[in-house]
Amino acid sequence: MYMKNHKLYWLFSWLFLFPFVELFAGWNSFIVNFDKSLYGKGAQTWQIAPYDDKWVYFANKNGMVQFDGNVWSVFPLNNSSDVRSVLPSAAQKRIYVGGINEFGYYKPDADGSLVYHCMSDTLDGSIRFLGNVWGIHEVDNILYFQGDDRVIKYLNGKYTAIEMDAKIDCSNMVNGILYVGTDRGVWLLVGNTFFPLQGGDTLASKRIRGIIPYKKGVLVVTAYNGLYYCDGRTVEPFMTGAEDFMRENEVFCVAKKDDKIALGTIHKGLVLIDCSTGQLKYFNENNGLRNNTVLSVSFDVAGNLWAGLDSGIDYVCLSSPFTNLYSYPYSYGTGYTAAVENGYLYLGTNRGLYYTPYPVKLNGNLPDINPMPQSSGQVWNLCRIGDELFCLHDRGIFQIRGTSVKRVTDITGAWSCQLVTGHTDLMYVGVYNGLYLVAKKNGEWTVACKIDGMGDSCRLFEQENEKVIWVYNTDHVTRIELTDDLTKVLNIKEYDKDDGFPAGRDMYVSKVEGRIYFATSSGIYKYNPHKEIMEPCPDMNNLLNGSSVYSRLLEYNDKLISLSPHEICSANLGTYKRGSNTSITPIQQSLVELVPDFEAIIPLSDSLMIIPNEEGFALFSIPAVKTRQDHAHSLYIKNMYLSYPKDSLVYTANFLGQKSFPQISYSQNSVRFEYGLPSFMQGDDIHFQYRLNKGNWSDFTAVSTKEYSNLSEGEYTFEVKAVFPDGTTSLDEIMFRILPPWYRSVPAYICYIVLALFALWYIYRWDDVRVRRKKQQAVIEKDKELHELEKGYEEEKARQEKQIMQLEKERLEYDLQHKSQEMANLMINLVRKNEMLTEIKSEIYKVSTLLKGEGTREGKQQLMLINSRIDANIQSDEVLKRIEDQFDLIHNNFMKRLHAKHPDLSNNERMMCAYLKMNLSTKEIAPLLNISVRGVETIRYRLRKKFGLEREDSLTDYLNNKL
């Protein structure tokens, strides 16, 4: 089935809602085709194992295939071989699979994903290669894996290989006993030993295809020779009426549920046998099966049938109250109308008018449907006028007579017709552009007139009485009053949303028990002539399914039948208590897709109705027993994804219904949920609501996903609810946790506590240090004060000392000045003394020159002695030394520094420097050195030269500042 390409979103509700529908009533059961491209293009499907009303597992060429009602998933084996067998085990919570030389099981992981565990890898080498594992059986915690020529028994972790001296074709566990079908007949495994089936010698030469339980024994299914019943003592043929069919088409597989046996064949599809009635029903390419080679079959819990084909998988809706007359590619067009008359079923389609014998005979071949001559084109309606049947056609009106038609009048584009109320020879005919009055004269229908004043299309109309007609158009309803002769419009008025209708379109007019009603999108409405408005009709709504959508309303015998795109409702007109005698049947929109705006329902009896639809014609059988489906567990959360920074799956639904408790990091706190019903139950009339953490339910929505972003940390419960048309609901929920960010995690809080303790300790230490610092600061301040005082004292002391020093300096300067003055006086005195001595020396020299003669020699000697003493007194070094010492004392060792820096100076030059230091003038220096003024200048010159002074340099500055 191409679920999207072919718009087959089918509703499982059908498959469980009517388990009591007569299996072989009606036409061909609807068959849904699943193309192999949906599950990895694996062609052959060797075994099918439904688990419950939602999960189905398939042993497929590409691996184990899982179908959860919406999504197909493929799980390959380790060795990538074909999967030959599959067994879901509720006891072990596993799905066992067998392939080629491999077997194992799948088990849900923490997030719900199935994970494969290989069991055959632990087998001994001697039994490791057991070929194809065609069957897996479980009983009393014992597992049996059936290979080509042996059975592996698994008990308490130990494997036992039980050899069979024959090729094993099939096996089954019946009443705790393992039956195996081989090319040497049927055998039973008792303990670890095979025993032949008692009385089963006749089966030794037969090709055994299956063994199924039946009454107190088993039925053995052969490929060509039919069925055999074994009661434990004897084996006898079991006649079904399909022996020729089985012989010609080779049976390959078998399945049983209650009294129904399904046989899949190699050449001609399926045959379904009702053992209680002996009736047969065939399914093949003629009536919807995709492929005639059926490799596996299995009934689900509702009695519907899965078929694994050579290419693809089909689902036969046996429990549905709907069956179809024909299917693609053997189509005769879109159905618009139908009627049964004189042993024929007439079918009006967009291609023309067809007929087939009624009741329709279906035996697996194509239905015997034939085109009516000269009827090609669009058929709109089939109307019965008295004992005549008319075909309302795009090309006009045709009277149907057996297998031929006759054109009536020259009207074209006819929608429908009705007898005029109170007349048997007049009828109204609605056409594309108005309304005609047609009269019957001499057995022939002729046009009386086209009613004047009415130019709108009259596809649907009803008569309030012969002169008042209600006409439906797309966006309004028109009330027409005619003149007494019915030829002209007397009064006309339109009614739309402004006049009380709930919407501006789809107000289908109907007549029930002589009154006009309108089927709308919000229930049944009626006309209030006193207020000239439209009002809801509570009585009709209560009788049907409340104020829901209705597109047609029809009175049939004592029944009131309503039709909508979603359901068929049948009620007893004599009962006005809602639900007491009302049957409400949902319509499988994926299987029965009504023609928009041309919905129609044609009752054949109180329990059978024909529903024209896009694909042809469906037959609806009202269930004999009213049931109500339990939707409580239909809804399920399929997947949960983290949607940031990229999609990552954290939960997926599994066959056990186990839910994980996802722990989600704060950095990925955006989640998306996918939820829904099995695709068999989905429809436009089912809506969803959701909420988080018991908050308010959301508005109704048809969207099956919900995303939450930027969730804060904490535990959450996501709930989703499906609301079905009958008011029942289904709920599912999942819990998850958003972990706090790293800075709000438990380790972080531990770190925070440690840091807080450290901070407290630090504050304590800081406060202690602060106190100590404060104390130290106080001490420092005190010390500072003391220091300031001391400093003040020192400053005062320094000031006083400075004053003392200043006084001392002044005193010293005074002493220095005094000493200098004394030295100067001394030198002056010395100069004067030297001058005086020089004068005395001159006088002595003069006296000595005057002394002549011997007598004067002694006197001269005395004079010379005196002269020498005078010279000695003038040239005395001791005096100079004393002068230098005294000068150094006064002038800070000037003479010593001078000698140290200029040791080559003569005594006169040194004395010259001393005299210059004392600021003596040249004239004052000359006598002190006993030289002339010019001699002083000469010494000054020599000093400048020795000192390396330039012309512009001052000798006095050099002596005062640089020595």
Which tens digits make up the pLDDT trace of 43-63? 999 999 999 888 999 999 999
- What is the pLDDT, as a whole number, of residue 791? 80
Q: pLDDT tier at 595 (50, 70, 90 boundaries)? A: very high
The first and second tokens of residue 195, run together, are 């025993």
What letter would DSSP give residue 771?
A: H
Mean pLDDT of the region 270-279: 94
pLDDT band of 660, cuts 50, 70, 90: confident
Q: Which pLDDT value is given to residue 684?
A: 58
Lowest mean pLDDT among 17-21, 239-243, 820-824, 879-883: 17-21
C-alpha span between 707 and 693 (Å, rounded): 14
pLDDT at residue 154 in the model: 94
Q: pTM higher than 0.85, yes or no?
A: no
Q: Say if residues 939 and 843 touch (Cβ distance below 8 Å).
A: no
Q: What is the per-residue pLDDT for 627?
A: 55
Helix (H) or strand (E) holding 161: strand 158-163
Cα separations in angstroms, 51 against 48, 54, 435, 659, 670: 10, 7, 59, 18, 34
pLDDT at 26 over 80: no
- Higher per-residue pLDDT: 15 or 819: 819
Is residue 822 over pLDDT 80? no
Q: How far is the C-alpha of 588 from the C-alpha of 13, rounded, in Å? A: 8
880-963: CATH number: 1.10.10
Between helix 894-901 and helix 907-917 the angle, nearest 10°, is 130
Coil, strand, or helix at residue 856? helix
Radius of gyration of the chain (CA): 65
Quickly state the pLDDT bin for 236 (edges 50, 70, 90): very high
Comparing CA positions, the residue from 46, 154, 169 lying closest to residue 104 is 154
Q: Which residues contact 857 (CB under 8 A, 6 or more apart)?
A: none
Nearest CA-CA partner of 178 in 161, 200, 197, 204? 197
Question: What is the C-alpha to C-alpha distance for residues 597 and 495, in angstroms, rounded to an integer?
Answer: 19
Residue 929 DSSP label? H
Q: Stretch 648-673: mean pLDDT, rounded? A: 91
pLDDT digits (tens, 9 = 90+) for 705-721: 999 999 999 999 999 99
268 in helix, strand or coil? coil
Q: Supply the pLDDT for residue 881.
A: 67
Of 2.40.10, 3.90.198, 1.10.10, 2.60.120, the CATH number of 414-495 is: 2.40.10
Residue with the larger pLDDT of the pair 3 and 383? 383
The more confident residue out of 399 and 575 is 399
Looking at domain 46-163, which of 1.25.40.80, 2.130.10.10, 3.10.129.10, 3.40.50.20 is its CATH number?
Answer: 2.130.10.10
* Dihedral-angle region of residue 177 (phi above 0 means left; psi in -120 to 50 means alpha; beta otherwise): beta
**What are the pLDDT digits (tens) for 90-139?**
899 999 999 999 999 999 998 899 999 999 988 887 788 889 999 999 99
What percent of the chain shows pLDDT beyond 70? 91
With pLDDT > 90 as the criterion, what percentage of the chain qualifies? 57
Structural domain boundaries in the chain: 46-163, 414-495, 496-586, 636-741, 880-963
Q: How far is 112 from 91, CA to CA, in rounded Å?
A: 18
Q: So what's the pLDDT on residue 492?
A: 95
pLDDT at res. 243: 95
Query: Confidence class of residue 876 from pLDDT cuts 50, 70 and 90?
Result: low
CB 344 within 8 A of CB 402: yes
Q: Cα separation of 622 and 609, whole Å?
A: 8
CA 846, 848, 852: angle at the middle one, nearest 5? 120
The answer to whether 733 and 694 have CB atoms below 8 angstroms apart is: no
Structural contact between residues 310 and 43, judged by C-beta atoms closer than 8 angstroms: yes
Distances (CA, A) of 788 to 214, 643, 778, 785, 800: 122, 75, 14, 5, 17
The confidence band for 22, taking pLDDT boundaries of 50, 70 and 90, is very low
Q: Is the pLDDT of residue 10 over 50?
A: no
Amino acid at 832: R
More confident site: 226 or 916: 226
pLDDT of residue 915: 81
Using omega within 30 degrees of 0 as the cis cutoff, is the peptide bond preceding 367 cis?
A: no
Residue whose tokens read 């043929």 = 237
DSSP 668: G
Name the more confident of 849 and 669.
669
Arithmetic mean of pLDDT over the chain? 87
550-578 residues labelled b (16+ CB within 10 A) or e (exposed): bbbbbbbeebbbbbbbbbbbbbbbeeeee
**Architecture (CATH level 2) of domain 636-741:** Sandwich (2.60)
pLDDT, residue 13, reads 35
Cα–Cα distances (Å) from 528 to 500, 512, 519, 634, in that order, read 10, 16, 15, 43
For 729-752, the pLDDT digits (tens) are 889 999 999 998 888 888 888 888
Q: Is the pLDDT of residue 11 over 90?
A: no
pLDDT for 6:
33
From residue 519, give the alpha-carbon distance in Å to each of 430, 464, 534, 600, 726.
20, 16, 12, 13, 19
Measuring CA to CA, how many Å separate 731 from each of 431, 573, 672, 693, 721? 50, 36, 18, 14, 5
Stretch 372-396: mean pLDDT: 95
The answer to whether the CB of 630 falls within 8 A of the CB of 301 is no
Tens of pLDDT, residues 775-816: 888 888 888 888 888 788 878 887 887 788 777 777 767 776
- Mean pLDDT of the region 406-433: 95
At 292-321, the pLDDT tens digits run 999 999 999 889 999 999 999 999 999 889
Higher pLDDT, 763 or 718: 718
Q: Tell me the C-alpha distance between 590 and 3, whole Å.
A: 9
How would residue 5 be classed by pLDDT, with cut points 50, 70 and 90?
very low
